[in-house]
């Protein structure tokens, strides 16, 4: 890295929330209205380089080999915060690659903004601990704060108006409880309504939103204990409850938001059937139609075989738990 062109490259993994984040307490700073608890996935990876360059007239954002000016504004907004901290006016070339579908409810914004934040911090040599860095990643995408860490991660909504106490931190590393996640891909395209728009419509119009907020802390408490004690039954119960409650709140918005397709429902049904047969598996679903089946390691092959053969399931991805984001160059 030459002094004139500060650059760095980072790798981050996507994460999925077991207890969901849905709703913002401040849209500008991207402050979540609720705490959330996630697992980091080693099979969904983003690699991103950020190279600041005095010769550039604006940030150039290239994803999967193609310039994407329409996606650059969110990246520039985040990099502006790093530039302000570093006293730099240099724009950057950001090159990023996802090894999984982008914008389809597979948390590409989480791994994407975590990788950008880590690379930008490194390139500009900013002194910042991981918790503080997560407050920056959060400003790109709420769930990105969690992707900086490996294993089991908690995101605090915080109460400060400036968002300083709205950060993520690791609870247990991936070895604590090596769960597996089988992702059933039921659609490869981009989702119709992004999570930010879905959240604000839910907050403004859903009669269930208040109850969603009120009941969140109990879910976090149950999930935190279940994870600490490796109690799969309790974790399965609260994970499905949080997921269904989030989607029910969104479905009750006006107009109703339905992220699912027919295959999403078939996969839910099959997972519940497997659990009745004694297989330790449960589901969660984000702002898209893919279903993530979470299971104990020994059950992964059986779960994967069962989901892969369902009509409407295009393919499956099997993941273990991933480590924290890291600098790779
Ligand atoms: O990080 P965002 O703004 O894309 O929101 C993520 C919201 C969900 O994925 C639906 C839930 C979560 O906690 O990850």
Tell me the pLDDT of the chain (329 aa) as tens digits: 445 679 999 999 999 999 999 999 999 999 999 999 999 999 999 999 999 999 999 999 999 999 999 999 999 999 999 999 999 999 999 999 998 876 656 778 899 999 999 999 999 999 999 999 999 999 999 999 999 999 999 999 999 999 999 999 999 999 999 999 999 999 987 667 989 999 999 999 999 999 999 999 999 999 999 999 999 999 999 999 999 999 999 999 999 999 999 999 999 999 999 999 999 999 999 999 999 999 999 999 999 999 999 999 999 999 999 999 999 96
Please give the angle made by the CA atoms of 255, 282 and 174, to the nearest 5 degrees: 110
127, two tokens: 């002194």
Contact 93, 181 (CB under 8 A): no
Ligand 1 atom at minimal distance to the Cα of residue 286: 10
Predicted local confidence at residue 4, as pLDDT: 63
3-state helix, strand, coil in the chain (%, to 5): 40, 25, 35
How far is Cα 27 from Cα 315, in angstroms, rounded to an integer? 35
Predicted local confidence at residue 1, as pLDDT: 44
Ligand 1 atom at minimal distance to the Cα of residue 287: 10
Of 39, 36, 40, the closest CA to residue 217 belongs to 36
How far is Cα 125 from Cα 309, in angstroms, rounded to an integer? 49
Residues with CB under 6 A from ligand 1: 17, 20-22, 36, 109-110, 141-143, 195-196, 286-287
Q: Is the peptide bond before 255 cis (omega within 30 degrees of 0)?
A: yes
Centroid of ligand 1 to alpha carbon of 46 (angstroms): 17
Ligand 1 atom at minimal distance to the Cα of residue 144: 1
Ligand 1 atom at minimal distance to the Cα of residue 142: 1
Centroid of ligand 1 to alpha carbon of 267 (angstroms): 21
Predicted local confidence at residue 166, as pLDDT: 98
Give one DSSP letter per residue of 237-250, joined into a string: HHHHHHHHHHHHHH
Centroid of ligand 1 to alpha carbon of 216 (angstroms): 15
Q: pTM for the whole thing?
A: 0.96
How far is Cα 96 from Cα 136, in angstroms, rounded to an integer? 18
Predicted local confidence at residue 3, as pLDDT: 52
Hunting for tokens 């005095």 — which residue is that? 54
137, two tokens: 């990643």
Longest CA–CA span in the chain (Å) reads 62
Phi, psi dihedral angles at 248 (to 5 degrees) = -65, -40
170, two tokens: 């690791």
Q: How do 36-53 and 24-26 pair as beta strands?
A: unpaired
Question: Cβ–Cβ contacts within 10 Å for residue 204, how many?
Answer: 10
Question: Cβ–Cβ contacts within 10 Å for residue 299, how many?
Answer: 22
Nearest CA to ligand 1 atom 8: 286
Question: Cβ–Cβ contacts within 10 Å for residue 5, how many?
Answer: 15
Q: Is 134 exposed, middle or buried (0-12, 13-18, 19+ CB in 10 A)?
A: buried
């Amino acid at each position: 890295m030459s002094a004139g062109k500060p650059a760095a490259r980072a790798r981050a993994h996507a994460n999925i929330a077991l207890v969901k984040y849905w709703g913002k307490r401040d849209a500008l700073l991207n402050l979540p209205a609720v705490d959330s608890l996630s697992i980091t996935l080693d099979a969904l990876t983003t690699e991103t380089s950020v190279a600041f360059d005095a010769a550039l007239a604006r940030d150039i954002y290239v994803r999967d080999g193609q310039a994407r000016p329409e996606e650059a504004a969110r990246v520039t907004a985040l990099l502006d915060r790093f530039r302000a901290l570093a006293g730099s006016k240099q724009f950057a070339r950001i090159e990023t690659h996802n090894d999984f579908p982008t914008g389809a409810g597979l948390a590409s914004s989480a791994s994407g903004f975590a990788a950008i934040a880590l690379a930008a911090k490194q390139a500009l040599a900013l002194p910042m601990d991981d918790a503080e860095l997560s407050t920056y990643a959060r400003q790109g995408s709420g769930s990105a704060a969690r992707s900086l860490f490996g294993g089991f991660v908690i995101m605090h909504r915080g109460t400060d108006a400036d968002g300083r106490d709205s950060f993520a931190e690791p609870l247990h590393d991936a070895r604590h409880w090596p769960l597996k996640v089988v992702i059933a891909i039921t659609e490869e395209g981009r989702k119709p309504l992004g999570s930010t728009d879905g959240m604000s419509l839910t907050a403004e119009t859903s009669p269930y939103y208040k109850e969603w907020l009120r009941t969140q802390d109990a879910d976090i408490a149950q999930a935190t204990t279940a994870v600490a004690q490796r109690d799969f039954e309790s974790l399965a119960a609260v994970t499905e409850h949080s997921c269904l409650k989030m989607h029910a709140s969104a479905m009750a918005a006006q107009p109703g938001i339905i992220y699912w397709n027919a295959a999403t429902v078939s996969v839910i049904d099959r997972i519940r059937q497997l659990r009745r047969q004694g297989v330790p598996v449960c589901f969660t679903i984000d702002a898209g139609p893919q279903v993530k089946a979470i299971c104990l390691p020994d059950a992964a092959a059986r779960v994967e075989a069962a989901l892969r053969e369902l009509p409407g399931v295009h393919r499956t991805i099997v993941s273990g738990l991933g480590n924290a984001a890291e600098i790779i160059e």
